[in-house]
Amino acid sequence: MSVPMLSIQGDNGLALTRLHMPRILSSVANEVTSLLLLDFRELHDAGDVLPIQGAVDIPRIAAENQQVIRLAPIACDLMAIGTAGICRVRGHLETLLRYECSRCLEEYDSPLVANFDEQFSERVRQDDVHLVEGSQVDLTPYIEEVVNLVIDFRPLCRDDCQGLCSVCGTNLNDHRCNCDRAVQDPRWAALEGLLSKDEPE
Ligand SMILES: [Zn+2]
Ligand SMILES: [Zn+2]
């Protein structure tokens, strides 16, 4: 690939390339953190408009989703805007996931892009506003929630993945086997036995 590699490399060894995260500046992308803070005072001092950018590593997402082998740090390109005691944080999240295909069990990488749009306040009680204590909020739990919502629960390495042979376990995307799968599956065999008894001779 001739595209220069801007890599955010976490401990888990999965790197995001420039292809997967065109919006994030290289200066912030070099640093991977475990927190991404929204600071109300900093926002106020900045005139109520503050960019929040960074790359957060949330290994728990892979730990809690068995179809996710691992994921790269999540590149966050967000903008915080304060109005009337409420801070709205909007933007994009991007990462690269390594899934285990739910049919053939092979691992494959897939980019993930999600919109982020959450509101926070220290004092305004409203249904769609997260009421927070203190002048800083760690956005990581909210980022985790958004990513968990867009993760594929039955990932497929490709739409027409042929899966594994139920008899010999061959990956049918790579090889054909000569197994007679319809008969060899004991559940079907039992069913066929029943059906043939019912059939008039
Ligand atoms: Zn597959
Ligand atoms: Zn087979």
**Could you tell me if residue 102 is inside a domain?**
yes
For 22, the token pair is: 């065109």
Task: Show the domain range for 176.
Answer: 162-201
Q: How far is the CA of 49 from the centre of ligand 2 (A)?
A: 60
d(CA 77, CA 91): 6
Q: Are residues 145 and 188 in the same domain?
A: no
Q: Are residues 169 and 146 in the same domain?
A: no
Q: How far is the CA of 184 from the centre of ligand 1 (A)?
A: 22
Residue 58 has a CB neighbour count (10 Å cut-off) of: 21
Tally of domains in the chain: 2
Residue 181's pLDDT is: 79
d(CA 92, CA 76): 6
Q: Are residues 133 and 195 in the same domain?
A: no
Q: Are residues 127 and 44 in the same domain?
A: yes
Q: Are residues 195 and 108 in the same domain?
A: no
Q: How far is the CA of 162 from the centre of ligand 2 (A)?
A: 12
Q: Are residues 83 and 131 in the same domain?
A: yes
Residue 15's pLDDT is: 61
Question: What is this structure's pTM?
Answer: 0.77
Q: How far is the CA of 168 from the centre of ligand 1 (A)?
A: 16
Instruction: Give the tens place of pLDDT for each residue, 18-39.
Output: 444 444 444 445 678 889 999 9
Q: Are residues 126 and 186 in the same domain?
A: no
**Could you tell me if residue 68 is inside a domain?**
yes
Find out whether 139 and 86 touch, Cβ atoms under 8 Å. Answer: no
Residue 114 burial (CB < 10 Å; 0-12/13-18/19+)? middle
Q: Are residues 119 and 44 in the same domain?
A: yes
d(CA 175, CA 158): 16
Residue 102 burial (CB < 10 Å; 0-12/13-18/19+)? middle
Q: How confident is the model at residue 1 (pLDDT cuts 50, 70, 90)?
A: very low
Q: How far is the CA of 196 from the centre of ligand 2 (A)?
A: 25
Q: Are residues 145 and 168 in the same domain?
A: no
159-169 burial, b for 16+ CB within 10 Å, e for fewer?
Answer: eebebbbeeee
**Could you tell me if residue 157 is inside a domain?**
no
* Lowest mean pLDDT segment, chosen from 13-27, 133-147, 167-181: 13-27
Q: Are residues 168 and 133 in the same domain?
A: no
Q: How far is the CA of 153 from the centre of ligand 2 (A)?
A: 26
Q: How far is the CA of 47 from the centre of ligand 2 (A)?
A: 66
pLDDT score of 124 more than 70: yes
**Could you tell me if residue 173 is inside a domain?**
yes
Closest ligand, as measured to the CA of 106: 1
Instruction: Give the tens place of pLDDT for each residue, 32-86.
Output: 888 999 999 999 999 999 999 999 999 999 999 999 999 999 999 999 999 988 9
pLDDT score of 16 more than 70: no
- With tokens 């042929």, the residue in question is 162
Q: Are residues 180 and 87 in the same domain?
A: no
Q: Are residues 138 and 171 in the same domain?
A: no
**Could you tell me if residue 71 is inside a domain?**
yes
Find out whether 58 and 36 touch, Cβ atoms under 8 Å. Answer: no
**Could you tell me if residue 47 is inside a domain?**
yes
Residue 107's pLDDT is: 96
Closest ligand, as measured to the CA of 159: 1
Q: How far is the CA of 185 from the centre of ligand 2 (A)?
A: 11
Name the more confident of 153 and 32.
153
Q: How far is the CA of 118 from the centre of ligand 1 (A)?
A: 35
Q: How far is the CA of 103 from the centre of ligand 2 (A)?
A: 15
Closest ligand, as measured to the CA of 157: 1
d(CA 134, CA 168): 59
Q: How far is the CA of 172 from the centre of ligand 2 (A)?
A: 8
d(CA 115, CA 92): 5
Q: What angle do CA 115, 89, 43 make, to 5 degrees?
A: 155
Residue 110 has a CB neighbour count (10 Å cut-off) of: 17
**Could you tell me if residue 156 is inside a domain?**
no
**Could you tell me if residue 175 is inside a domain?**
yes
